[in-house]
Every structure is written in structure tokens, then in C-alpha cells.
Structure 1
Amino acid sequence: MIRSLYTRVVLTFLVSVIGGTILSFFVATWVFKDKLNENLQIPLLYFGQDIARIYETFPLHEAETFVHGMNQLKSYHIRIYDETGQFQSYGTLNGENPASVTMEQIKKVLDGGVVQVNPIGVSTILLGLPVTTEMGTKAMFVEPIAPPSTSFIIKWILNFSTYSLIAGSLVILVAAMFLIRPIKKLTKATRQIAVGDFNVKLNIKQKGELGALARSFEDMTHDLQELEQMRREFVSNVSHEVQSPLTSISGYAIALKQVDISDNERSRYLDIIIAEAKRMSKMSDSLLKLSLLESQSQQLRLVTFSLDEQIRRVIVAIQPQWSTRNIRFELNLKDVQLMADHDLLNQVWTNILGNSIKFSKDGGVISVSIKQDIKNVTVRISDMGIGISLEDQKRIFERFFKADRSHNRKYGGSGMGLAIVKQIVSLHQGDIRVESEPGRGTTVIVTMPITTPTD
């Protein structure tokens, strides 16, 4: 089994050239068979007719002498038969075997017929004609001694095909080397990636299919490198986020084993353990939710509903979070009908509004507005909280990322909320962005198509 692409390319070329040449020859021969047969028989027929006229015109002795001295006998051999099968030959065969003549052919010619023997259909190797002499009718058989025209043509075609095959083979050998070189680079690069080395530079400048393949491969390598980096960061972040509550749970569980602790301390330790366990459970749920969203196994259940009414219901549902801190809402919600997944969008507004409340100052104001154009609806949620630095804004939608880490213990959270929000908005083919300045609050802008495409 031939496994080398280089060998396959070369063999394919050789088989194509040889097969095409042979097929072309037979097709051309079949198409022009009658014309070739006619053109190649004419010289032999004319020569035989000229000899017949010589015997008819001159006395037998003079005719034989004239024929013996003809220059054409270098190319033809003549045999003249009588009715008994005896013959007289003119010319030399130059070592070649004469074509066989049967008594049936002799009799046919003596009866006035013409015999032509052409086994391949395009070249006559034997021509029989009646000759009238003063001694009666005789049978003359003429055969060419020199290679017939067909043999010359075949020889020329074979030589031409051989030279074409040799020249073409040399060209394809060189061309195949250039064809295989980028594939070998791709193979080597694939092996590097297989062992975890993503620093691959192909340097393939070709255009066409191979160039497109190389560029796609480089793009894939870049994506794999980013994916591997994300995987490592994810494992590191998960380990870090899980380690903190586990340490707390382990520490306070050991403290509970002490006999001399008060009931108040025991209750406080248990509350901390329960809170940390809930945090781990919430983190696990968030990870599962985000995983489902990113794998797109979460199917959108599209319904048409009132967006402004949904946001109002979310604000009412989270009232315990903002009412105890005297936070007020300023609403500018126009009546908008939206086709989307109601439950997923409900989580979007819950997460965004929850963050706004969490990072707002007591007695602060949160503004929520809706604007609509022909195709999209835009929701703006603004607070007057601590704000986000420009550097952190670039990573705010990454999983486990927490802006202003100095406040992590104060505000809590797993850093998964906005990552889930981003994924839900993307599934609806929308867009989300943040505008913020440290100390001056944050505005989250969500743009959604009014009708979400089902594909």
C-alpha cells in the first residue's frame, strides 16, 4: 500500500500521461481509420497498377527487363504467379520474410479480383492484382519492403510519448517536492501541538488551497494556545476559589471539636461553615450553568414578553437587597416586546442589578432605562458605586475575575456572574459592554435584537 503522498502524486501523473497517450492513440486511430487506410494504400495501389500497365504495353521480355531495373524495387517486392503457383520475384527482401500467398488468393487474382491484406486495418502489407501479358493472365503480388507509413507514425508517437513522459516526470518530481513541503511542515507542526508545544511557525506563503490550509492551521493553533491558557487559568482559579472555603470549613470544624467553647461561638462557627458550604454550592451551580451555556447545549426557549415588565419584577424580587440600604431606583422603561429566553434574561438582569446594588453606596441611586430602534433594544443600568478601573474593564466578563480585589472579602462573590451574563447575551446574538470610572460608578449597556434568530 502506497502511503507517501509524494509517491502518489508522481505515480498519478505517470499513469495519467501513459494512459492518456495510449487512449488518445487508439481513439485517433479509430476515428481516422478509413482516412488512414485510404491514404496508406494509395501509393502501393498506384505502383501495382503501373507495373500491370507495363506488362500490358510491352512485350513480356522487355517488360521483365524494365521492371528489373526500376528504382522502386528498393521499397517494394514483386512476385508474379502463374496458375500452377510458380512465381518470379523482382527486388530483394533485405532479410525480411515475404508475406505468405495462398493458392486461393492466386486463384482469386487470376479470376480478375483484387487481394488486399491489411491485418491492423490501416496498412496494406500485401496487394494482389491481375496482370495481362502475351502469355496470358498472371497474378501479381506487391508488398512494401521499407517500413510502412503506419509503422513510422507509431514509432514517432512512441518516441514522442517517451520523451514527453521523461520530461514531464522530471517536472512533476520537482513540482511534487514543492507541493509536499508545506504538508510536511504541517505534519511536523501537528506533532509539536500533540505534545503541547503551541509555538509553531509554518512560514508558508503559498496561496490557494494549501495557503488557506496553512493559515487556518495557524489560526487553529492560536485558538488552541488561548484555550490551553484558559484551561490552566480555570484550573488555577477553581483551585484557589475552592481552597478558601474548604480551609474555612476545615478550620472551624476543628474548632467545634473543642469542649470549652461557648454556645455563641459554636453557633457562629456553624453559621460560617454553612455560609462557606453555600458559597461552594453556588460556585458549583454557576460553573455548571456556564459550562452548559458555553457548550450551547442550553437550548433557547424563545417567547415574546414585555421586557420592561420583566425588569420591574426583578427589581421587586431583589427588594431585600436594596431596601435595607436605602438605595433608590430611577426607571425610564418604555413598553418593549422582546422575543428571547425569558428565564435566561431574568438571570441577566438579576446578576447585573445585584452587582449594582452590591457596589453602590448606602442611599445611592441606580438608574435603569430602555431605548428601542428598528432592530435592537438597549438597556442601560447605571449606579454611583465604587467603579471599575480601565484595566479591569477589559477582563470584567472573564470567569472568576473580581475587580478591585482589595474589596473581595467585603463584597464576596465567586466572579462567575458577569461571565454567565456575557454568555447568555451572546447566545441571543446581543452585545454587552461596560462604561465606568473608579469612584464615579458603573454603567452596563446591554443591546439585544428584538427578534432573536432561531439558528
Structure 2
Amino acid sequence: MIRSLYIRVVLTFLVSVIAGTVIAFFVSTWIFEEKFSENAKINLRNFGQDIARIYKTLPPHEADSFVSEMKQLDSYYIRIYEATGKFQSYGKLNGHKPAMVTMEQIQKVIDGGVVQDTPNGIAIVLLGLPLKTETGTKAMFLETIAPPSASFVAKWGLIFAICSLIAGSLLILVASVFLVRPIKKLTKATRRIAAGDFNVKLNIKQASELGTLARSFEDMMHDLQQLEQMRREFVSNVSHEVQSPLTSISGYAQALKQVNLADSERSRYLDIIIAEAKRMSKMSDSLLKLSLLESQSQQLRLTTLSLDEQIRRVIVALQPQWTARGLQFVLDLETLPVTADHELLNQVWTNIIGNSIKFSEDGGMISVSIQHDINTVTVRISDTGIGIPLEDQKRIFERFFKADRSHSRKVDGSGMGLAIVKQIVSLHQGDIRVESELGQGTTFIVALPITSSTE
């Protein structure tokens, strides 16, 4: 199977030209042969009739002498047969093989009939005419021996060129239909996608460049469909997340307009409004942060610091939260310098450890360990909390996604933290995954290169 479009186009052109030339040759030869043979028959018949008149007018010996000196013998070969099959010839063959004449043909001509045949190809005509002489009726057979004239050759060449052009053009036209068909499908699909329709099936099975382009186009179409779905979900999620604090702010702002509102109630309403405003501000900051990370417009500021020391500082900063819940930390932190953007990594550890604190039962335990090989460091953060359902584990790194925590106490959060974590780890050319069972706790595993580099 020819996979290269370039080779297919070249071969299509060559096959079309060769096939068109062959077809044109046979067609033009057929046309030329018909026309030339017809012309040769007319000329030969006229010459034969002239010979017949000579023998009818002159005595046989004078007629023989007259005919033997005719200039037309350069182009014609004459045989005059007796009834016995004996013949007398006029003209030079010049290597030309004379046409075979049978006794049946001789007898037919002597009886007054006419024989006409083209036994040896283009313009080679055999004509048999009865020849009446003083000694009786004889059979005269004439045939052409000269090659086609220059004018006829020129006409044949012109006919051949025209037929070749027409046949080759038709073949290329037909072949181009099959070559262009996949491109037309792609063009039609592009228009449908531009109109917002992503349910397009190309059904192009070729293995050439067009097939590769079609498969890439289908992949792009699938990605665009997912992107459109994500855009719609994003708009829906933002609207939902913004609507809740706005509703609270609007409601409590209306309540503050009451004249007889107690100072304590007024203060509580103001605190709620301030808290909801901070929540919206935090969500806005998270969206901006995630947008910058996804567009990679934020360059990594690489420094070499001790990873274990950074994690310990995050745990100390969160101490008020976990000590209030009676949680314990078990640390297995090997001293290890890592080159990375430690400001961004600080957000990773803060978010993951903060989630472990939020979703751990009171009195639970959180363990953090560091392991490494030559090129990679792996950080495991495990808790003994409520766990994450299996169906939610595949989506926890999506923006605005919140796992089902209905069986646990309500916790604050916009669902943006783990999406930011995932993007930061990806920027460091690392990987993050989660292992969890309901009621058994959750483990986040972060793998990072010891020496990160920007792309």
C-alpha cells in the first residue's frame, strides 16, 4: 500500500499520462487507418480502372509496354493472372512482401467480380479487377507498396496528440476526484465545527498523509469537544460558586437596613458579609492563579532548598488547625536539597496537608514521608480520614470539583485547590496521584524531579 500522498500523486499522473497515451495511440491509429485505407482504396480503384481502359484500347503487347513504363509503379504492384494461375507482374516490390492471392479470388475476378482486402495493416490494400483483353478476360490484382505520404503522417500525428490530450485529461480528472474527496470531507467537517457541531465522522481510512491528517483532525475535534464541555462546566460552576456568596451578601445587606436591628445582630451580619466577600476574593485569586499556571505565563523561579525543611515549616504553620483537632503527625523526612520553585511548592504542601487536616477524624494521624532515587523524589502524605469514593478519585483534580463529603461535617472550599496543585506539579515536570478507600484514609503521592527545569 502506497502511504505517501506525494508518491500517489506522481504515480497517478504517470499512470494517467501513460494510459492516455496508449489509448490515444490505438484510437488515433484506428481513425487514421480507416481514413487512409479509404483514401488508398479510392486511388487504387481509379488506377486500376485506368489500366483496364489501356488494355481495352491497345493491343496486349503495346498495353504491356505502356503499363511497364508508368510512374505509378513506384507506388503500386500489379499482377495479371491467367485462369491457370500464371501471372505477369509490373512494378518493384523493394522488399515488400506481396499479398497472397488464392485461386478462388482469381476465379471470382475472372468471372466478373471484384476483390478488395486490407491484409497487411494500414493503407495496404489489395484490389482485384477483371481485365478484358483481346485474348480474353484476365484477373488483375493491384496493391499499394509505398509508405504513407508526409501529409497523412502529419494528420495521424495531430490526431494522436489530440486523442492523447483528451484521454489523459479525462483519466487525471477521474483520479483527482478520489484524491480530493478526503480533502472535501475535511473542509465540510471544518465548517461544521466552526458552526459548533462537534459530532462529525470523517470515515477516512487511508494510510497516506491525508489519513494521518484525518486522524489528527479527529483527535483535535475530540479535544475541542472536551474543551467546549469544560468551558460550559466552568461557566456553570463559576456561576454557582459566585451566586451563593452574592445571595448571602445581598440578603444580609438588606437585613442591615432594618432600623430596629440590634447592634449584636448588625455586627454578626457584617461579619458574614465580610466573610463572603473574602470567600469571593479568594476564589477570584484562585481562578487567576490557575489561569496563569495553565497558560504557563508564570515562569518558575528556581532555587535549591531543603525539601524536608519546607514541609516541616508548612506543618508548623498549620499547627493551630491540627492541634485543635487532636491530630498527630508522623514524619519520615530525609534531608534532601531540591531545585524548584519553592514558593509554588509551598502551596502544594499547604493544600494537601490542609485537606488531610480537614477530612481527618479528631484524634487521627497524618504521616508524611520522603523517598528518592537518583533523579526523582517522592513525597507521600497519608491520613486516617474519611477517604474519597472511587468514582470521585478520577475527578478530584478538576477545577470546582468537590468530592461527596455528605457523610462528614461541612467544610469550606471552592474546589480549586487540587486543580492548582496538579498544575504546579505538572509545571515542575512531576506527577501526582491519589490512593484512597472510604473509611480507611487517603494518600497523596507527589513525584518530582530532583532538579526541575523550565520548558
TM-score range, shorter chain: 0.5 to 0.7
Aligned residue runs from structure 1 range 173-322, under 5 A: 173-322=173-322
Q: What is the identity, as a one-letter code, of the residue corresponding to 1:255?
A: A
For the 8 Å contact 1:378–1:446, the answer to whether it is kept is yes
Distance (Å, rounded) in 2 between the aligned partners of 1:313 and 1:152 = 103
The Cα shift of 1:160 comes to 4.8
Change over 3 Å in CA distance of 1:170–1:411 after alignment to 2 = same
Aligned residue for 2:447? Answer: 447
Residues 1:171 and 2:171 aligned together: yes
Distance (Å, rounded) in 1 between the aligned partners of 2:148 and 2:396 = 94
Change over 3 Å in CA distance of 1:409–1:298 after alignment to 2 = farther
Aligned residue for 2:432? Answer: 432
Distance (Å, rounded) in 2 between the aligned partners of 1:375 and 1:171 = 61
For the 8 Å contact 2:378–2:445, the answer to whether it is kept is yes
The Cα shift of 1:273 comes to 0.8
Residues 1:352 and 2:352 aligned together: yes
Distance (Å, rounded) in 2 between the aligned partners of 1:247 and 1:231 = 24
Q: Percent of aligned positions with the same letter in both sequences?
A: 78
Change over 3 Å in CA distance of 1:430–1:153 after alignment to 2 = farther
Distance (Å, rounded) in 2 between the aligned partners of 1:280 and 1:407 = 26
Show CA shifts across 1:33-53 (max 9, x none). xxxxxxxxxxxxxxxxxxxxx
Distance (Å, rounded) in 2 between the aligned partners of 1:248 and 1:230 = 27
For the 8 Å contact 2:428–2:454, the answer to whether it is kept is no
Q: What is the identity, as a one-letter code, of the residue corresponding to 2:447?
A: T
Change over 3 Å in CA distance of 1:213–1:153 after alignment to 2 = farther
TM-score by length of 1: 0.66
The Cα shift of 1:356 comes to 0.7
Residues 1:380 and 2:380 aligned together: yes
Counterpart secondary structure, 1:304: strand
The Cα shift of 1:168 comes to 2.3
Q: What is the identity, as a one-letter code, of the residue corresponding to 2:280?
A: M
User: Unaligned 5+ residue runs, structure 1?
Assistant: 1-8, 22-67, 76-144
Change over 3 Å in CA distance of 1:321–1:153 after alignment to 2 = farther
For the 8 Å contact 1:340–1:428, the answer to whether it is kept is yes
Q: Aligned-residue CA RMSD in angstroms?
A: 2.9
TM-score by length of 2: 0.66
For the 8 Å contact 2:205–2:211, the answer to whether it is kept is yes
The Cα shift of 1:454 comes to 3.0
The Cα shift of 1:409 comes to 7.2
The Cα shift of 1:153 comes to 7.9
The Cα shift of 1:451 comes to 2.1
The Cα shift of 1:147 comes to 4.7
Q: What is the identity, as a one-letter code, of the residue corresponding to 1:220?
A: M
Q: What is the identity, as a one-letter code, of the residue corresponding to 2:349?
A: W
Counterpart secondary structure, 2:176: helix
Aligned residue for 2:416? Answer: 416
Distance (Å, rounded) in 2 between the aligned partners of 1:246 and 1:405 = 24
Counterpart secondary structure, 1:406: coil
Q: What is the identity, as a one-letter code, of the residue corresponding to 1:170?
A: L
Distance (Å, rounded) in 2 between the aligned partners of 1:158 and 1:314 = 92
Distance (Å, rounded) in 2 between the aligned partners of 1:153 and 1:318 = 102
For the 8 Å contact 1:402–1:408, the answer to whether it is kept is no
Residues 1:400 and 2:400 aligned together: yes
Distance (Å, rounded) in 1 between the aligned partners of 2:73 and 2:319 = 122
The Cα shift of 1:158 comes to 5.2
User: Unaligned 5+ residue runs, structure 2?
Assistant: 1-8, 22-68, 77-146
Counterpart secondary structure, 1:180: helix
Deviating above 3 A after TM superposition, structure 1's stretches of 4 or more consecutive aligned residues are 68-75, 145-148, 151-164
Distance (Å, rounded) in 2 between the aligned partners of 1:278 and 1:407 = 27
Q: What is the identity, as a one-letter code, of the residue corresponding to 1:219?
A: D
Show CA shifts across 1:357-400 (max 9, x none). 11112222110001101221110000111111101111111111
The Cα shift of 1:310 comes to 1.2
Distance (Å, rounded) in 1 between the aligned partners of 2:336 and 2:360 = 28
Distance (Å, rounded) in 2 between the aligned partners of 1:324 and 1:193 = 55
Aligned residue for 1:134? Answer: none
Structure 1 stretch displaced more, 191-200 or 415-424: 191-200
Distance (Å, rounded) in 1 between the aligned partners of 2:323 and 2:220 = 50
Distance (Å, rounded) in 2 between the aligned partners of 1:409 and 1:361 = 10
Distance (Å, rounded) in 1 between the aligned partners of 2:315 and 2:178 = 66
Counterpart secondary structure, 2:451: coil
For the 8 Å contact 2:427–2:454, the answer to whether it is kept is no
Q: Size of the alignment, in residue pairs?
A: 328
Counterpart secondary structure, 1:268: helix
Structure 1 stretch displaced more, 308-317 or 228-237: 308-317
Aligned residue for 2:341? Answer: 341
Aligned residue for 1:129? Answer: none
Distance (Å, rounded) in 2 between the aligned partners of 1:260 and 1:318 = 42
Q: What is the identity, as a one-letter code, of the residue corresponding to 1:444?
A: F
Distance (Å, rounded) in 1 between the aligned partners of 2:303 and 2:17 = 64
The Cα shift of 1:251 comes to 0.9
Distance (Å, rounded) in 2 between the aligned partners of 1:321 and 1:426 = 29
For the 8 Å contact 1:432–1:446, the answer to whether it is kept is yes
For the 8 Å contact 1:366–1:382, the answer to whether it is kept is yes
Aligned residue for 1:325? Answer: 325
Q: What is the identity, as a one-letter code, of the residue corresponding to 2:429?
A: Q
The Cα shift of 1:325 comes to 2.0
For the 8 Å contact 2:400–2:414, the answer to whether it is kept is yes
Q: What is the identity, as a one-letter code, of the residue corresponding to 1:252?
A: Y
Aligned residue runs from structure 1 range 64-83, under 5 A: none
Distance (Å, rounded) in 2 between the aligned partners of 1:153 and 1:210 = 46
